[in-house]
Amino acid sequence: ETGVTQTPRHLVMGMTNKKSLKCEQHLGHNAMYWYKQSAKKPLELMFVYSLEERVENNSVPSRFSPECPNSSHLFLHLHTLQPEDSALYLCASSLEAGAWGQETQYFGPGTRLLVL
């Protein structure tokens, strides 16, 4: 256990559905991240939040909408997704974002998403 939990672990949704992924960290960290992991590709950073403020939006389509209500919780709201959005979505947290000595990221188990 890394102290980062994600729910649900598996999700199947149609292209017209709306769903949300949830991430919670119990490490007292101030920065949280969403990544997309597709087969045979490097991890793709999607969003970075530092102290509940979005500090990075890595050219992600608007059908992905993040929300960070507090430093322990992070959501990824999904709507009108495409089949190519099927992937493992990973959440991570770190003490701080981009601060030397505090940037080690700890990952959750991920949500395996399948878009039909």
Partner 1 sequence: GESVGLHLPTLSVQEGDNSIINCAYSNSASDYFIWYKQESGKGPQFIIDIRSNMDKRQGQRVTVLLNKTVKHLSLQIAATQPGDSAVYFCAENGGATNKLIFGTGTLLAVQP
Residues in the interface with partner 1 (CB under 8 A) total 27
71 touches partner 1 by CB under 8 A: no
C-alpha to C-alpha distances, 90 to 5, 20, 26, 43, 101, nearest whole angstrom: 10, 13, 16, 9, 22
In angstroms, the CA 6 to CA 100 distance is 27
Pairing mode, if any, of strands 18-25 and 4-7? antiparallel
Q: What sign does the CA torsion over 25, 29, 31, 37 have?
A: negative
Q: Near partner 1 by CB under 8 A, which window of 14-22, 66-74, 79-87, 102-110?
A: 102-110
98 touches partner 1 by CB under 8 A: yes
Range 20-59, binding partner 1 (CB under 8 A): 31, 40-43, 45, 48, 50, 55-56
CB 108 within 8 A of CB 5: yes
Decide whether 18 or 26 has the Cβ nearer to partner 1. 26
Decide whether 40 or 62 has the Cβ nearer to partner 1. 40
Q: Which residues bind partner 1 (CB under 8 A)?
A: 2, 4, 6, 31, 40-43, 45, 48, 50, 55-56, 90, 92, 97-100, 103-110
